[in-house]
Amino acid sequence: MVPPMRPNRLWRVAAALLASAAALTLAGGAGPGASAASLPADPPPPPISWTACTSPAGYRCGTVDVPVNYAHPSGATISLAVIEKPAADPASSHGVLLFNPGGPGESGVQILSVLVALLPTTIADDFTLVSFDERGTGASQGLVCGPSPAAAASVTPLPSSVGGSLPGATLYRHLHSQCSAAAPSLLGHIDSTDAARDMDRIRQALGVSKISYWGLSYGTVLGAAYAHLFPERVRAMILDGAVVSSAPLVAGVRSEAAAITAALDHYFATCTAEPHCPLGSDPQQTFEHLETSLASHPLPAPGGGDALPVTVGDLDTAALFYLSVPSFGSGFTTALVAAEAGNGAPLRSLSLEFEVDLDNKSLVGPQWAYACNDTADRMTAEAAGRLAHTLDKHSGPLAAYAVTYDIAGCVDWPQTPDAIHSVASTAAHSIVVIGNSGDPNTPHTSAVQLAHDMGGAHLVTWRGWGHTWLLNGSSDACMDQVVNAYLVSGKVPANGTTCE
């Protein structure tokens, strides 16, 4: 199995872009193959007691209590933070549209208002929009454990010698014990099966029989889990930036390595086509020179008490962050120029965006807890190191980083008893999977496979660069029409629909 990729640490950029414009798989419970009815009966939760959120204005905040362990529903509970933006005209609303922004671990409560600004106006106005913090994230008993965000961002992608252990595996060697100490009763239930069951508790608390759902990146894992367990509760479902839970681990890493390489080559070509590329006449050579330099001579640690030097790991992390949201502008190129001149602070700033939430809290713990509890596939630290060297040799800059990015935290994580085995759903005929042709984070091939694995979901392709359509192509009129017709009118797009 491929653990959920760490894709969606992109909302801070989305928020920044929007502000600038204005002034941007399964574990726990009874396992993914079990039906909802196979667990002990659990009384439905009471309706949500909404209060006005402190911010943003017009939104309502509340909580929903859920069992820590669904096999023992009368035992310990936790409260999930939930946020709602009511439809402009509740009398004509098309119902509830529930969002998960990805990560895993991103706070849906913090992000919903950013998401609303990206949605087509009809959808933003005509649905009651709801999001939540998954168990172990944000205000839902957020899990804080593991290395610092700076350590995670700066870990180098290659062992010092062929056959050596992957440096990322060494960094995360004690991650499970650290997280277990932080949340001993909850850690084993921070997984997508339990989160999907939580979603159904939220549905019940909202008082609706069916929900529409939009999941970005890791949110496609959670959406697929929900559709597998509760197909009769799905009105409509968009899975944007697909993560495949059924592909072999090595195949998944190789697929992402190829996608990252293609996106980086596109970046080089775009810069070369500019009248005056800041990276010179051969930007690829400039990038590779900087990689080599940082691998042997990290730059001094930025100020502000950050004692870790800026490494090639920061460069690779910042590069994938930028390639995931190219609309970020010239920030990455500027950071490369600064690093060439000996200033690594801009690179560190960008690389940290992949490791913290909108409130700057670390995402390291919940990120890897979900990823590792959701999959049974493992690789030894030495095998991971060899794979990184192979990809570095044959696929060019950034390819080796895919190994650290996708699997490093799970190398020494204990096996989970209930990993993802199937995402098949009887609701697949009414589910839409969106894949970007140039997504460096969740390759288009993953969207093709997820649609197939679910049992015939409808594949829609957006020909564009960046991670997820919503973050990178929300202004595309063709896609707007497809999404509006689907969510508002129930018109499922033809399988294979493509927007240029």
Q: Residue 211: in which H helix or E strand, if any?
A: strand 211-216
φ, ψ for residue 460, nearest 5 deg: -120, 130
pLDDT at 21: 43
**Spatial separation of the C-alpha atoms in residues 464 and 410, rounded to whole Å:** 31
Q: For position 10, what pLDDT does the model report?
A: 56
The secondary element (H helix, E strand) that includes residue 277 is none
Output the pLDDT for position 304.
55
Q: Which fold has domain 19-144+183-247+422-499?
A: Rossmann fold (3.40.50)
Residue type, 207: G
Per the CB < 8 A criterion, the answer to whether 306 and 348 are in contact is yes
For 111, 162, 244, 331, the CA distances from 247, given in Å and listed in that order, are 30, 26, 6, 34
Contacts of 405 (CB under 8 A, 6+ apart): 5, 6, 256, 320
**Strand 497-499 versus strand 431-438 pairing type:** unpaired
pLDDT of residue 249: 84
Cα separation, 14 vs 468, whole angstroms: 12
CA distance 116 to 124: 6
Per residue of the chain (500 residues), give pLDDT as tens: 444 455 444 555 555 545 444 443 333 334 454 445 467 777 889 999 999 999 999 999 999 999 999 999 999 999 999 999 999 998 889 999 999 999 999 999 999 999 999 999 999 999 999 999 999 999 999 999 999 999 999 999 999 999 999 999 999 999 999 999 999 999 999 999 999 999 999 999 999 999 999 999 999 999 999 999 999 999 999 999 999 876 778 999 999 999 999 999 999 999 999 999 999 999 999 999 999 999 999 999 997 555 899 999 999 999 999 999 998 767 999 999 999 999 999 999 999 999 999 999 999 999 999 999 998 889 999 999 999 999 999 998 899 999 999 999 999 999 887 788 899 999 999 999 999 999 999 999 999 999 999 999 999 999 999 999 999 999 999 999 999 999 999 999 999 999 98
What is the DSSP annotation of 445-462? Answer: HHHHHHHHHTTSPEEEEE
Which amino acid is present at 98?
A: L
* Start-end of CATH 3.40.50.1820 domains in the chain: 19-144+183-247+422-499
Report CA dihedral (82, 78, 362, 26) to the nearest 10 degrees.
Answer: -90
Beta strands 60-67 and 77-85: pairing type? antiparallel
- Residue 144 CA to residue 363 CA, distance in Å, equals 8
Helix (H, G, I), strand (E, B) or coil at 113: helix
Among candidates 68, 497, 449, 440, which has minimal Cα distance to 224? Answer: 449
Residue 279, amino acid:
L
DSSP class per residue in 308-358: SPB-HHHHHHHHHHHHH-GGG-THHHHHHHHHHTT--HHHHHHHHTTTB-T
For the record, the structure tokens of 370 come out as 């979900």
pLDDT at 31: 45
pLDDT reported for residue 306: 59
Q: Do 60 and 91 form a contact (C-beta atoms < 8 A)?
A: no
